C-alpha cells in the first residue's frame, strides 16, 4: 500500500466557472494521455502519491497551497471521465460533503453496471469505509474528514483521496491510499511517503507499529464490561486534581499530577461512560465482541472518542503506551534547492516531469499554446 498526507491552508468559496471548465478539459486530456501511455493502474497509483497529485493540481492551474486544490482537482477529474469510465476502466466515486457519504452507493452501482463480482464489490466498499475510519479515528490529529474520493479499476486496484479540516487552525490535511482486493490489514503501518506543510507536536497515532500492544489490549478490554467500567472510573478518580490520595478496593493510590504523564494528559480526558453516545457505542461493542482491533474500529458508531477511551485505559492502567508521533512529515512537493524543507528528491522530481511531460506532448486536442502553458507550470513545480 502507498499512502500520504499533506497539509494546506483552509480556504472558502468556489472556483470560478471558467477555471473549472478549463480544469475539466485539461484533466481529461492529461488523464487519458497518461492512461494510454502508462495504463489505468499507473494513473490511479500516481493519484495516491501526495506529491504527484499536488503537481497535477498545480499543472491544472489551481492555487498550489489551498485546500481547494484537492476538492477542485478531484471534482474536475470526476467530471472529465464522466461517460468515459467503462472505456478507460476508471471509476471515480465520492466527493465533497454529502457526496462523500454516497461513495459506497456509487461503488455498488458501478459494480452492477460492469458486472463486478459481488464479493469484490463488498471488499471495495469496505476499503472505502476503512480508509475513512482510520484517518478519522486511529490518527487523531484534529482534522475532521469532509471530502472522500474512491477511485478503482476493473481489476480491483484502488486509491483513496480524502481531506479533513480544522476550522480553529484554518488548515486542511489530505490523506492518500493505494491498495487492491488482497489488502486485509488497514490498521498496522498503512502510511508511507507522507507529506505535510506542518508536523504536529502530539497526535494519537494508533496505526503506528509502536501502538500494537495498545491495539491488542484495547481489543481485549471489551471482553469484560465490568472491569472496563471499573478501569474508566479509576482513571476519572485518578485524574481528579482535588484528590491527592484515595482507595480502590482497599488499595491506597497516590494521585500524582498530570506532569508525570507527559504523553497522555489524563486531566484533559473527561470520559463519561454513562453519556448516551459513549454508552450506546460500548453497548454495541460488548454485543458484537470484536476479535481484532480492525473489527472493533469498523463497528458502526465507534468513533474517535470511543477509540481514545480504550487507548487511554490500555495505557494508564495496563502500561501499553501508544505512539504520539504525527505520521506526517514536513515535505512539500519535491524539496528545495536551498535544502528547505529538505534537499530536492531528484528521482521523484524527474519521474513527475517525465510522466506529465510525455502525457502532455502526446495529448490530443490540446493546442500548442496550451501545451506550452502546461509545460511552463510543470517546470515551476518545486
Answer yes or no: do 245 and 335 share one domain: no
pLDDT per residue as tens digits for the range 70-97: 888 999 999 999 999 999 999 999 999 9
The mean pLDDT value for 122-136 works out to 96
Answer yes or no: do 163 and 54 share one domain: yes
Identify whether 323 is part of a domain: no
Please give the pLDDT value at position 181.
93
Domain of residue 231 covers: 209-316
Please give the pLDDT value at position 37.
83
pLDDT per residue as tens digits for the range 352-380: 667 767 776 766 666 777 767 766 665 65
Q: Are 332 and 382 in contact (CB under 8 A)?
A: no
The mean pLDDT value for 22-50 works out to 87
Between 145 and 240, the more confident residue is: 145
Q: What is the largest CA-CA distance in the chain?
A: 83
Answer yes or no: do 74 and 34 share one domain: yes
The mean pLDDT value for 7-19 works out to 68
Of the candidate ranges 84-98, 115-129, 164-178, 186-200, the one whose mean pLDDT is the lowest = 186-200
Identify whether 234 is part of a domain: yes
Nearest to 145 by CA among 155, 124, 126, 130: 130
Identify whether 324 is part of a domain: no
Answer yes or no: do 304 and 366 share one domain: no
Q: Are 277 and 305 in contact (CB under 8 A)?
A: yes
Label residue 10 by pLDDT band (50, 70, 90).
Answer: low
Answer yes or no: do 51 and 155 share one domain: yes
Please give the pLDDT value at position 262.
43
Counts of helices then strands in the chain (DSSP H, E): 14, 9
The mean pLDDT value for 18-34 works out to 84
Among 316, 343, 368, the domain boundary falls at 316
Identify whether 223 is part of a domain: yes
Please give the pLDDT value at position 339.
45
Mean confidence (pLDDT) of the chain: 80
pLDDT per residue as tens digits for the range 218-233: 999 999 988 998 888 7
Identify whether 322 is part of a domain: no
Answer yes or no: do 166 and 103 share one domain: yes
3-state SS assignment for residue 130: helix
Label residue 190 by pLDDT band (50, 70, 90).
Answer: confident
Answer yes or no: do 261 and 355 share one domain: no
Q: Are 355 and 38 in contact (CB under 8 A)?
A: yes
Identify whether 326 is part of a domain: no
Q: Are 8 and 67 in contact (CB under 8 A)?
A: yes
Please give the pLDDT value at position 347.
66
pLDDT per residue as tens digits for the range 320-360: 999 998 887 544 444 444 444 445 456 665 666 677 677 76
Answer yes or no: do 181 and 219 share one domain: no
For cell 498526507, name the residue: 5
pLDDT above 90: residue 296: yes
Between 132 and 369, the more confident residue is: 132
Answer yes or no: do 140 and 247 share one domain: no
pLDDT per residue as tens digits for the range 250-295: 554 544 444 444 444 444 556 666 678 888 999 999 999 999 999 9
pLDDT above 50: residue 305: yes
Answer yes or no: do 118 and 194 share one domain: yes
Q: Are 21 and 343 in contact (CB under 8 A)?
A: no
Identify whether 12 is part of a domain: yes
Name the strand (E) or helix (H) holding 179: strand 171-179
Among 275, 290, 316, the domain boundary falls at 316
The mean pLDDT value for 95-109 works out to 96
Among 263, 285, 316, the domain boundary falls at 316
Please give the pLDDT value at position 189.
83
Nearest to 53 by CA among 85, 80, 30: 30
The mean pLDDT value for 157-165 works out to 92
By the 10 Å C-beta count (0-12 exposed, 13-18 middle, 19+ buried), 338 is classed as exposed
Identify whether 204 is part of a domain: no
Residue positions counted in the chain: 382
Number of domains into which the chain is organized: 2
Between 310 and 248, the more confident residue is: 310
Answer yes or no: do 194 and 130 share one domain: yes
Between 348 and 207, the more confident residue is: 207
Answer yes or no: do 21 and 132 share one domain: yes
The mean pLDDT value for 288-314 works out to 94
Amino acid at each position: 500500500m502507498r499512502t500520504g498526507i499533506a497539509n494546506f491552508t483552509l480556504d472558502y468559496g468556489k472556483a470560478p466557472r471558467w477555471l473549472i471548465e478549463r480544469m475539466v478539459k485539461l484533466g481529461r486530456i492529461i488523464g487519458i494521455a497518461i492512461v494510454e501511455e502508462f495504463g489505468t493502474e499507473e494513473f490511479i497509483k500516481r493519484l495516491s502519491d501526495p506529491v504527484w497529485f499536488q503537481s497535477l493540481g498545480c499543472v491544472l492551474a489551481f492555487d498550489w497551497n489551498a485546500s481547494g486544490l484537492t476538492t477542485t482537482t478531484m471534482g474536475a477529474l470526476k467530471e472529465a471521465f464522466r461517460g468515459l469510465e467503462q472505456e478507460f476502466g476508471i471509476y471515480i466515486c465520492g466527493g465533497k460533503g454529502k457526496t462523500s457519504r454516497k461513495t459506497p452507493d456509487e461503488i455498488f452501482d458501478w459494480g452492477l453496471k460492469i458486472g463486478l463480482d459481488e464479493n469484490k464489490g463488498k471488499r471495495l466498499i469496505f476499503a472505502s469505509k476503512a480508509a475513512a475510519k482510520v484517518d478519522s479515528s486511529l490518527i487523531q490529529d484534529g482534522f475532521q474528514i469532509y471530502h472522500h474520493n474512491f477511485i478503482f479499476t476493473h481489476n480491483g486496484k484502488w486509491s483513496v483521496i480524502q481531506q479533513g479540516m480544522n476550522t480553529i487552525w484554518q488548515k486542511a490535511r489530505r490523506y492518500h491510499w493505494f491498495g487492491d482486493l488482497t489488502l486485509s490489514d488497514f490498521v498496522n503501518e498503512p502510511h508511507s511517503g507522507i507529506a505535510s506543510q506542518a508536523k504536529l507536536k502530539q497526535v494519537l497515532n494508533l496505526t503506528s507499529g509502536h501502538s500494537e500492544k495498545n491495539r491488542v489490549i484495547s481489543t481485549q478490554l471489551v471482553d469484560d464490561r465490568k472491569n472496563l467500567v471499573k478501569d474508566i472510573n479509576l482513571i476519572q478518580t485518578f485524574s481528579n486534581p482535588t484528590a491527592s490520595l484515595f482507595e480502590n478496593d482497599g488499595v491506597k493510590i497516590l494521585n500524582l499530577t498530570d506532569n508525570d504523564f507527559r504523553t497522555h494528559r489524563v486531566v484533559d480526558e473527561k470520559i463519561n461512560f454513562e453519556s448516551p453516545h459513549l454508552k450506546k457505542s460500548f453497548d454495541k461493542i460488548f454485543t458484537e465482541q470484536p476479535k481484532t482491533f480492525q473489527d472493533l474500529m469498523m463497528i458502526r458508531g465507534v468513533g474517535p472518542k470511543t477509540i481514545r477511551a480504550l487507548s487511554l485505559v490500555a495505557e494508564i492502567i495496563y502500561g501499553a503506551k501508544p505512539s504520539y508521533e504525527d505520521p506526517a512529515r514536513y515535505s512539500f512537493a519535491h524539496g528545495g534547492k536551498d535544502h528547505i524543507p529538505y534537499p530536492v528528491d531528484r528521482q521523484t522530481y524527474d519521474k513527475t516531469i517525465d510522466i506529465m511531460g510525455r502525457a502532455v506532448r502526446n495529448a490530443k486536442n490540446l493546442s500548442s499554446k496550451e501545451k506550452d502553458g502546461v509545460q511552463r507550470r510543470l517546470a515551476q513545480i518545486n
